[in-house]
């Protein structure tokens, strides 16, 4: 049997080697197909969805700004008054442009057909001018607004994304069109960001396949049909609102393509990624790649979440506020509350409500007059705003009662915040004319409980507030 040992050993080694090779090859093929499917069915669509979501977010913000302009009583009254003193509407448009960082802002009146712009009156629109067809199209629309791509009236070489919003008077009669424009460069910057972040080729093409917006590193042909290897799939891409295809480049590499139609622009968003040269090392790097992919996914989700919260906050700031104090009103506060609670549920973070009431405010108001009371409320609001975070929301709930919504803040931290505000109010030198007023506040706070409604939370905080008043005012009570 001794002579059989070398053969047995060789057979065993061969079996192990063959088994290892077979397992390695099968694992490689499975991993290779998995990576291809992951790129084609998950990674590229996710990138496309993220870009489209950010575009939609910018458009939603632009629509809200245009809606506020179209319903602004200043715009209505100025137009109905005969468009006197054009410098007023010009100054208004300039403030809109600067405040919201838009490329342009405009207003066209139906009566005189004048195109008002932050730089002045640019022109008088005419049915015979092809560049003015957009106005007469919007004039006949059933919808209140449209989004379209057009060249800026102030700069005919600049392509912009416009939100054109109908303006109607108090009786619903059409009196003009207003809105804002965003530079297409914002979309190009977004593309540049995603290309650098994910090493993917991202660009837009129109219905004919012509490349319209691309990143700085784009080196391909100007038409989709002329890109090497893509001619056989270009027609399919342009004929469908969304598609996931692949083609082979002259160098033999497979390129995966995801496309989707962006109806607001009537363009196709194209995201490409070629097979990596590291495919031959997939087996060795498989588990590391999975971990990295999960980390990148977590990073992308985190970035998207923070980006949404930031834009949401900017949208909330544009909503109606209390005229006297500048604090949020009840309607806006309810929207912010629902948004913050949704975010808190997703991220498992606490939310706390603080209810504040100025002690003996009615007596001071009756003694020193309503003008003095208004001054106190305004100064009080500014003082409180200076002691809360930008992410917190201050609302005038009614009279001299205010509420503060603290997101990502538990009751313990809220108490410290409330104590800081209480001490600041006590130290602040409030004045009515030549009279110095000593002021204090009573505070009640309640941490949000799962499933609780806003009225329930307000009720608990108010109960704590009334307890503070009953116990002598100028104190804090937690529900």
Report the 10 Å Cβ neighbour count for 402. Answer: 24
- Choose the catalytic residue: 400, 408, 438, 462: 400
Question: Can you tell me the distance from the alpha carbon of 464 to that of 355, in angstroms, rounded to the nearest whole number?
Answer: 8
- Nearest-10 Cα torsion for 443, 449, 455, 457: 0
> What are the distances in angstroms from CA 168 to CA 66, 94, 105, 156, 174?
13, 22, 18, 28, 4
261 forms beta bridges with 268
Exposed, middle or buried, 302 (CB in 10 Å: 0-12/13-18/19+)?
Answer: exposed
Find the helix or strand (DSSP H, E) in which 142 lies.
none
Is 400 in the active site?
A: yes
149: nearest Cα among 216, 99, 116, 103: 103
Question: Can you tell me the distance from the alpha carbon of 350 to that of 436, in angstroms, rounded to the nearest whole number?
Answer: 39
Find the helix or strand (DSSP H, E) in which 454 lies.
helix 454-470
Helix 330-347 with 282-318: angle, nearest 10 deg:
160
Evaluate whether 442 touches 474 at the Cβ level (below 8 Å): yes
Helix 330-347 with 454-470: angle, nearest 10 deg:
110
Q: Is 288 left (phi over 0), alpha (psi -120 to 50) or beta?
A: alpha
Evaluate whether 410 touches 382 at the Cβ level (below 8 Å): no
Please spell the DSSP secondary structure of 21-83, one letter per residue: HHHHHHHHHHHHHHHHHHIIIIIHHHHHHHHHHHHHHHHHHHHHHHHHHHT-HHHHHHHHTTS
Question: Can you tell me the distance from the alpha carbon of 406 to that of 391, in angstroms, rounded to the nearest whole number?
Answer: 8
Terminal Cα-to-Cα distance of the chain (whole angstroms): 88
Question: DSSP 3-state assignment of 413?
Answer: helix
β-pair type (104-109, 211-214): unpaired
Phi, psi (rounded to 5 degrees) for 250: -60, -25
Question: Which residue numbers are catalytic?
Answer: 400
């Amino acid at each position: 049997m001794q002579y059989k040992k070398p053969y047995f050993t060789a057979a065993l080694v061969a079996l192990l080697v063959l088994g290892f090779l077979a397992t390695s090859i099968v694992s490689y093929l499975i991993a290779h197909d998995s990576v291809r499917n992951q790129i084609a069915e998950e990674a590229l669509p996710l990138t496309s969805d993220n870009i489209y979501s950010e575009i939609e977010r910018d458009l939603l913000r632009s629509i809200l700004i245009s809606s506020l302009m179209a319903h602004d009583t200043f715009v209505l009254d100025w137009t109905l008054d005969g468009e006197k003193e054009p410098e007023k509407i010009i100054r208004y448009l300039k403030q809109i442009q600067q405040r919201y960082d838009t490329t342009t802002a405009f207003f066209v009146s139906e009566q005189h057909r004048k195109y008002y712009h932050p730089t002045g009156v640019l022109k008088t629109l005419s049915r015979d001018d092809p560049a003015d067809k957009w106005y007469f199209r919007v004039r006949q629309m059933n919808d209140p607004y449209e989004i379209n791509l057009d060249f800026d009236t102030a700069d005919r070489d600049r392509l912009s994304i416009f939100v054109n919003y109908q303006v109607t008077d108090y009786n619903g009669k059409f009196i003009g069109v207003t809105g804002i424009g965003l530079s297409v460069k914002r979309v190009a910057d977004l593309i540049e960001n995603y290309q650098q972040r994910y090493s993917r080729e991202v660009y837009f093409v129109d219905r004919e396949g012509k490349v319209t917006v691309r990143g700085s590193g784009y080196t391909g042909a100007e038409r989709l049909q002329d890109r090497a290897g893509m001619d056989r799939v270009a027609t399919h891409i342009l004929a469908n609102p969304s598609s996931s295809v692949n083609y082979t480049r002259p160098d033999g590499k497979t390129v995966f393509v995801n496309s989707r139609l962006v109806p607001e622009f009537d363009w196709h968003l194209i995201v490409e990624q070629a097979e990596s040269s590291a495919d031959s090392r997939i087996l060795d790097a498989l588990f590391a790649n999975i971990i990295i992919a999960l980390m990148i996914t977590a990073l992308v989700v985190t970035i998207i979440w923070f980006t949404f919260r930031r834009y949401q906050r900017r949208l909330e700031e544009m909503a109606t506020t209390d005229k006297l104090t500048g604090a949020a009103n009840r309607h806006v506060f309810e929207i912010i509350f629902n948004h913050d609670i949704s975010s808190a549920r997703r991220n498992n973070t606490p939310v706390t409500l603080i209810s504040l009431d100025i002690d003996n405010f009615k007596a001071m108001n009756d003694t020193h007059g309503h003008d003095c009371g208004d001054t106190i409320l305004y100064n009080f609001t500014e003082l409180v705003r200076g002691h809360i975070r930008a992410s917190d929301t201050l609302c005038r709930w009614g009279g001299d009662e205010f509420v503060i919504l603290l997101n990502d803040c538990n009751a313990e931290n809220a108490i410290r915040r409330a104590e800081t505000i209480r001490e600041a109010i006590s130290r602040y030198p409030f004045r009515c004319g030549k009279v110095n007023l000593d002021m204090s506040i009573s505070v009640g706070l309640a941490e949000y409980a799962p499933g609780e409604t806003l009225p329930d939370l307000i009720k608990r905080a108010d109960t704590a507030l009334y307890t503070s008043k009953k116990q002598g005012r100028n104190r804090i009570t937690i529900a």
